[in-house]
Chain A
Amino acid sequence: MELKDRLSDISAKARVEISAITTMEALETLRVAYLGKKGALTQVLKGMKDLSAEERPVIGQLGNKVRDEIATQLTETKASIEKEVLNKRLSEETLDVTLPGIKPKKGQAHVITQSIEEIEDLFLGMGYQIVEGNEVEEDYYNFERVNLPQNHPARDMQDTFYITNEILLRTHTSPVQARTLEKHDFSKGPLKIISPGKVYRRDTDDATHSHQFHQIEGLVIDKHITMADLKGTLEALAKKMFGENREIRLRPSYFPFTEPSVEVDVSCFKCGGEGCNVCKQTGWIEILGAGMTHPEVLRMSGVDPEIYGGFAFGMGPDRIAMLKYGVDDIRNFYLNDQRFLEQFKVKG
């Protein structure tokens, strides 16, 4: 047989054989069989030395063409086998993606801390400072300096844990007002503070009373502060805490340390004001007390009420959290049952 024919034979045979293979091993065997040192093609080409000078380049060219064709086919087949192998592996690696993930353990802030921080952040944004005070206070700062002298009938409104005759557990965060006022240098600007913290009352713990609870108070003192400013500030607060659509309503009230004094209702965030069990059918929920700082409170702190004035407001984060989340027992806040704590994991 002529070399030329043998080459076409090899070419045809290789095409058939290569196209039939499915494994890398078979591919390698064929590569050796055709292109290896002792391979069929190599053998044929070795016979070229016996060819004439005219034939040699022709056959040489043909030989190269056949070799390239085989090599190309081998490479392509290799790629396709590799792809199949990969596909097979990937298919074997398929997971049930619905199996649960491995979650890192996370804790969460106490719901009362969350409420307090939300309020703090609102007022930080409005240029207030946060001032925390001590929980054990002097009677003088807790009562007298907020215009509640001995034997004032309003002292009945809050029953007190005394440590000695002069020392007590603060019944409200208001002593912070007096202590901050007397230290403040008004030449350095107005006073704007928020003071959150624990307070204590002589109450028997039950679903709605706790001997320990929280308060957050605000105080703003400057030369031209009006009751309209108080109202605007409280509106901003109510919207932040209970939603943009809330309205507030001010009712006259009495606190010894403010005058005029107001109690503030927010339109019910459950029913929107139509009346429901949360707002006791009134459409309004009482959320805080406030007022214009009493001149006597300023005077006792060495601030001239003829020049300076301002407002104060205070609320109970416990009560707010109870209203907002429908918590039915205030004791839950202090028993720290994890089934309770975990419910406030979601941050908006």
Chain B
Amino acid sequence: MKVSYNWLSDYLNLENTTPEKLADQITLTGIEVDSLIEMGKGLKNIVVGEVKSIEKMEDSDHLNITQVDVGESELFQIVCGAPNVDKGQKVIVALPGARLPGNFKIKKSKLRGHVSNGMLCALDELGFSDSVIPKYAEDGLYLLPGTAVVGENALTYLGLDDVLIDLDITPNRADAMSMRGVAFEAGAILSQEPTFENIQVTEDPSSSIEEWISVSVEDPKDTPYYKSRIVTNLKVTQSPLWLQRRLMSAGIRPIDSVVDVTNYIMLEYGQPLHAFDYDLLDSKEVHVRRAQSDEAMTTLDGQERVLTTENLVVTNGSKPVALAGVMGGQNTHVTGTTRTVLIESAVFESSLIRKTAQSLNLRSESSSRFERGLNLGTIQDALDHAAVLMAEISKGTIISGVAEANDQQATEKEVSITVTKINHALGTALSLEEVASIFTRLQFEYRLIEDQFIVTVPLRRWDISIEADLLEEVARIYGYNKIPSTLPVMESTPGELTDKQRLTRYVRRYLEGSGLAQTISYALTTPEKAARFSLKPSNTTELDWPMSEEHKSLRLSLISGLIDNAAYNSARQTKNSALYEVGHVFYENNSSALPTEEEHVAGLITGSLSENTWQSKAQAVDFFTLKGIVEELLESIGFSEKISFTAIKTLEDFHPGRTAEIRIGNDVIGVIGQIHPLIAQKFDLEDTFVFEMSIEALVQSGKDPVRYQTIPKYPGTSRDIALLVQDTVTHNQVIATIESNGGKWLRNIQLFDLYQGEHIREGQKSLGYSLSYLNPEATLKEDEVNQDFEKVKAALVQELDAEIR
């Protein structure tokens, strides 16, 4: 809502303040000021002129040479190309030295040899937006009324000396979508009671409205109030300058002397009105009802609308003549030939208007006011004022009486609050007098019982209905910034992380320490990407009405996002990526409409973890680089059950020979592997390794407490063994054989060599293990160790067909 400072000063004495100061106060007491708009900022030397004579320029088809009186001793010769320029007009003249918007300077000049001392201006040349310039002034000069005084500053006539306070109105303060509402708000700030002009309706006693029209509504829930008046014998013209000026400042295009009045009243009262051409109604009846399914009507923008029973229409008893609260119908549109007008001042159910405006994409100044609610106290006042203004401007007469659907009266609510409650809630120490003065400034009447204020809430503040609403009024007028600043005093509670939060933070730090950078990807992605790399089979969750295919489905895995990120970096010459993400994945849940959300952690490495340095060459990452990171992470969490990696060939997005399930005990908690080369190729990535684990599973799996063990006093010893086995024998099998035959002093088995190739038979591999022995109680005897070691050798030969080398 753009509030004209000049207009506001009709209701309040603003002599002791400035637009800047008032705007600041408005912001700090309740309504955010989006901006201050100084209308004519930077414009100067623009005056009223009168065209004294006009002469066509000989060698031009459109230029005229005018002699203009600008209040100087001599006439100014000005060349003008506007088609509507004519002798006797009062026009806007930019004199030599004038500055127009865009820092455009007017100088004395010569056009085709003719002196031109300035420029006659159209509205767009003065900075008015095309959307507010009246259609009749679109292609030419804007003409000032004959009463305009030659030589005077033209900016005043156009309202360009005004400042607009642009209010950003929250849904609860729809009362401020009117000049009167803003006047009350500003009045409370300035401790002034706004004053409004008293409207006296002079009716034509010879004719009563009952002879003209009867009004009814189908359902008072849809249309609680419907009032109308008739103004006849009027002549539709252009509105007077002051009216046009106020509309344009508010961002509304002047149309004609009837429509402009309805818009003006809407701005003043917040009450949207509609004017019908009475003669085109074609009946003596107005009936408001729900549209029938598939009922059609043409709105005044010329569009045919097909309606539903969710739309409310104003009819002439049979066919729709307006889409209630949203837009008038073309069939009853006010035109230059209209002689009698029916003015409608009504309240329609807000959610119906909202749905209609939304579904037909017809948001307007009117519909947004209906949606947010109206001041039930001024439905009649707005109607009366409109009739008076219309009769005055368009020279019509007001038929006596008001036609209305029902005569229900809105009543004011009472809401109570005690001073004790106010101070308890705000942490203040306001006195009874201070609270009373705040209600007085708001123009709220009240009764007082001890320290309880029983406030009669004016109808213009329909947002106030409970105690908390009054509390807010008191707090904001008192000033939020005067409220003291304390910390809550209460029973103390431990502030600590849950096990899951602590573990998640640990996992993150660990991965960062291992060289992985945290990423945050979009949870919504393409259906194809969302479904990839899932740890378990599930359908994806899809948006009902996505904005694009790119962000349509909720992810089942974090890996897809990491691959996107690696590809994004790779395309920008960053070939090495080490990334991780912690976030939710969304599994379909058969027993609930809500998907099951699980917190996962996933990591990705590609390229190398290090750079080429002057000391060493960068090493390409491989499966075991990432496995090591994951193994160490899991070991450091301390699971009481064994962590194992089992080869799995069936995950289609992974390399079938380089992928493993990660298990704690028997439970699969994640997966690690190389992404399928075909996917890597698609994203233009080198060999890329990824893992993903469920954080919930990590939290839930049992963990061993840390137990201290005495540092051994006796030295241990070790034996190395090299063996040749079939290629198909796994490291895990070898370890299992050694462990189960290792004897009681075997403490550790370390693989130190793996070789395949030259000097080794095809289909075989050579493995080297170092076995460490220790007796914590005594020095180990060579014999004992040798015996144990021989058993291991024998078992390897027997169980794995190994050849000891």
Asked if A163 contacts B544 (CB within 8 A), the reply is: yes
A-side contacts of B493, CB under 8 Å? 127-129, 189-190, 192
B-side contacts of A295, CB under 8 Å? 466-468
Asked if B609 contacts A105 (CB within 8 A), the reply is: yes
Asked if B362 CB lies within 8 Å of chain A CBs, one says no
Asked if B523 contacts A261 (CB within 8 A), the reply is: no
Asked if A113 contacts B518 (CB within 8 A), the reply is: yes
Interface string of A168-200 (1 = CB under 8 A from B): 010000000000000000000110100000101
Asked if B644 CB lies within 8 Å of chain A CBs, one says no
Complex formed: what's the CA distance from A150 to B677 in Å?
Answer: 50
B-side contacts of A260, CB under 8 Å? 468, 471-472, 475-476, 480
Asked if B481 CB lies within 8 Å of chain A CBs, one says yes
A87-108 residues at the B interface, CB under 8 angstroms = 99-100, 102, 104-108
Instruction: Name the residue on A nearest B479 (C-beta).
Output: A250
Asked if B554 contacts A136 (CB within 8 A), the reply is: yes
Asked if B515 CB lies within 8 Å of chain A CBs, one says yes
A-side contacts of B577, CB under 8 Å? 338
Asked if A136 contacts B501 (CB within 8 A), the reply is: no
Say which one of A25-33, A73-81, A232-240, A270-278 lies at the interface with B.
A232-240
Asked if A109 contacts B518 (CB within 8 A), the reply is: yes
Asked if B486 contacts A228 (CB within 8 A), the reply is: yes
Complex formed: what's the CA distance from A106 to B509 in Å?
Answer: 10
State whether A107 and B594 are in contact (beta carbons under 8 Å apart), knowing that A113-B518, A250-B480, A259-B468 are contacts in the complex: no
CB distance from A215 to the nearest CB of B (A): 14
Asked if A167 contacts B594 (CB within 8 A), the reply is: yes
Question: Which one, A107, A235, A252, A333, contacts B512 given CB within 8 A?
Answer: A107
Complex formed: what's the CA distance from A152 to B593 in Å?
Answer: 24
Instruction: Name the residue on B nearest A284 (C-beta).
Output: B27
CB distance from A110 to the nearest CB of B (A): 4
CB distance from A225 to the nearest CB of B (A): 6
A-side contacts of B172, CB under 8 Å? 254
Question: Which one, A108, A189, A225, A294, contacts B518 given CB within 8 A?
Answer: A108
Instruction: Name the residue on B nearest A152 (C-beta).
Output: B171
Say which one of B296-304, B333-341, B425-433 lies at the interface with A.
B425-433
B-side contacts of A151, CB under 8 Å? 350-351, 354-355
Complex formed: what's the CA distance from A153 to B374 in Å?
Answer: 13
Asked if A1 CB lies within 8 Å of chain B CBs, one says no
- On chain A, the number of residues with a Cβ less than 8 Å from chain B's Cβ atoms is 88
Instruction: Name the residue on B nearest A294 (C-beta).
Output: B468
Asked if A161 CB lies within 8 Å of chain B CBs, one says yes
Asked if B522 CB lies within 8 Å of chain A CBs, one says yes
Interface string of B280-300 (1 = CB under 8 A from A): 000000000000000000000
Asked if A200 contacts B424 (CB within 8 A), the reply is: no
Instruction: Name the residue on A nearest B373 (C-beta).
Output: A153
B-side contacts of A228, CB under 8 Å? 426-428, 483-486
Complex formed: what's the CA distance from A166 to B545 in Å?
Answer: 14
Asked if B597 contacts A134 (CB within 8 A), the reply is: yes
Looking at A106, A166, A338, which has the most chain B CB atoms within 10 Å of its CB?
A: A338
Question: Which one, A123, A132, A226, A338, contacts B427 given CB within 8 A?
Answer: A226
State whether A251 and B480 are in contact (beta carbons under 8 Å apart), knowing that A124-B496, A154-B171 are contacts in the complex: yes
Question: Which one, B486, B523, B544, contacts A232 given CB within 8 A?
Answer: B486
Complex formed: what's the CA distance from A100 to B615 in Å?
Answer: 10
B-side contacts of A123, CB under 8 Å? 495
Interface string of A239-251 (1 = CB under 8 A from B): 0000000000111
B-side contacts of A231, CB under 8 Å? 427, 480, 483-486
Question: Which one, A108, A135, A161, A338, contacts B584 given CB within 8 A?
Answer: A135
CB distance from A148 to the nearest CB of B (A): 10
Asked if A113 contacts B491 (CB within 8 A), the reply is: no
Asked if B544 contacts A157 (CB within 8 A), the reply is: no
Asked if B372 contacts A164 (CB within 8 A), the reply is: no
Asked if B595 CB lies within 8 Å of chain A CBs, one says yes
CB distance from B416 to the nearest CB of A (A): 13
Instruction: Name the residue on B nearest A151 (C-beta).
Output: B351
CB distance from B459 to the nearest CB of A (A): 19
Asked if A338 contacts B480 (CB within 8 A), the reply is: no
State whether A211 and B547 are in contact (beta carbons under 8 Å apart), knowing that A222-B490, A228-B484 are contacts in the complex: yes
A-side contacts of B658, CB under 8 Å? none
Complex formed: what's the CA distance from A151 to B518 in Å?
Answer: 40
Asked if B194 CB lies within 8 Å of chain A CBs, one says no
Instruction: Name the residue on B nearest A200 (C-beta).
Output: B524
Complex formed: what's the CA distance from A231 to B475 in Å?
Answer: 13
Asked if B740 CB lies within 8 Å of chain A CBs, one says no
B-side contacts of A132, CB under 8 Å? 501
CB distance from A60 to the nearest CB of B (A): 51
Complex formed: what's the CA distance from A157 to B171 in Å?
Answer: 9
Question: Which one, A107, A156, A204, A212, contacts B517 given CB within 8 A?
Answer: A107
Question: Which one, A153, A227, A335, contacts B354 given CB within 8 A?
Answer: A153
Question: Which one, B171, B354, B428, B614, contacts A254 given CB within 8 A?
Answer: B171
Asked if A144 CB lies within 8 Å of chain B CBs, one says no
Asked if A292 contacts B28 (CB within 8 A), the reply is: no
State whether A227 and B542 are in contact (beta carbons under 8 Å apart), knowing that A136-B554, A211-B551 are contacts in the complex: no
CB distance from A163 to the nearest CB of B (A): 6
Asked if B497 contacts A124 (CB within 8 A), the reply is: yes
Complex formed: what's the CA distance from A338 to B546 in Å?
Answer: 29
A117-133 residues at the B interface, CB under 8 angstroms = 117, 123-130, 132
CB distance from A120 to the nearest CB of B (A): 8
Question: Which one, A102, A189, A261, contacts B472 given CB within 8 A?
Answer: A261
Asked if B485 contacts A232 (CB within 8 A), the reply is: yes
Question: Which one, B483, B489, B574, contacts A227 given CB within 8 A?
Answer: B483
Complex formed: what's the CA distance from A129 to B496 in Å?
Answer: 6
Question: Which one, B492, B515, B578, contacts A104 given CB within 8 A?
Answer: B515
Asked if B518 contacts A107 (CB within 8 A), the reply is: yes
Question: Which one, A167, A292, A339, contacts B468 given CB within 8 A?
Answer: A292
CB distance from A180 to the nearest CB of B (A): 13
A-side contacts of B568, CB under 8 Å? 335-337
Asked if B354 contacts A338 (CB within 8 A), the reply is: no
Complex formed: what's the CA distance from A260 to B490 in Å?
Answer: 22
Asked if B565 contacts A229 (CB within 8 A), the reply is: no
A-side contacts of B580, CB under 8 Å? 107
Complex formed: what's the CA distance from A339 to B576 in Å?
Answer: 12
Instruction: Name the residue on A nearest B466 (C-beta).
Output: A295
Asked if B517 contacts A341 (CB within 8 A), the reply is: yes
Asked if B495 contacts A337 (CB within 8 A), the reply is: no
CB distance from A139 to the nearest CB of B (A): 11
B-side contacts of A135, CB under 8 Å? 523, 584, 586, 597
Asked if B173 contacts A254 (CB within 8 A), the reply is: yes
Asked if B32 contacts A251 (CB within 8 A), the reply is: yes
Asked if A130 contacts B475 (CB within 8 A), the reply is: no
Asked if A146 CB lies within 8 Å of chain B CBs, one says no
Looking at A166, A229, A254, A336, which has the most chain B CB atoms within 10 Å of its CB?
A: A336
State whether A202 and B491 are in contact (beta carbons under 8 Å apart), knowing that A228-B484, A231-B483 are contacts in the complex: no
A-side contacts of B466, CB under 8 Å? 295
Asked if B574 contacts A338 (CB within 8 A), the reply is: yes
Asked if A312 CB lies within 8 Å of chain B CBs, one says no
Complex formed: what's the CA distance from A204 to B551 in Å?
Answer: 11
CB distance from A297 to the nearest CB of B (A): 11
State whether A224 and B424 are in contact (beta carbons under 8 Å apart), knowing that A211-B524, A260-B472, A261-B472 are contacts in the complex: yes
State whether A339 and B613 are in contact (beta carbons under 8 Å apart), knowing that A125-B495, A224-B489, A295-B468 are contacts in the complex: no
Asked if B513 CB lies within 8 Å of chain A CBs, one says yes
Complex formed: what's the CA distance from A233 to B427 in Å?
Answer: 13
Asked if A253 CB lies within 8 Å of chain B CBs, one says yes
State whether A227 and B545 are in contact (beta carbons under 8 Å apart), knowing that A110-B519, A154-B171 are contacts in the complex: no
* Given A211-B524, A339-B572, 19 additional A-B pairs, CB 8 A: A106-B513, A134-B594, A135-B523, A138-B594, A162-B544, A169-B543, A226-B424, A226-B425, A226-B427, A228-B427, A229-B489, A232-B488, A250-B481, A252-B28, A259-B469, A292-B425, A336-B521, A337-B574, A341-B518
- 7 A-B residue pairs with Cβ-Cβ distance under 8 Å, sorted by A, are A124-B495, A129-B496, A190-B491, A198-B583, A249-B481, A253-B170, A254-B172
Q: Which 5 pairs, one residue from A and one from B, show the smallest C-beta to C-beta distance?
A: A228-B427, A226-B427, A105-B515, A254-B170, A250-B480
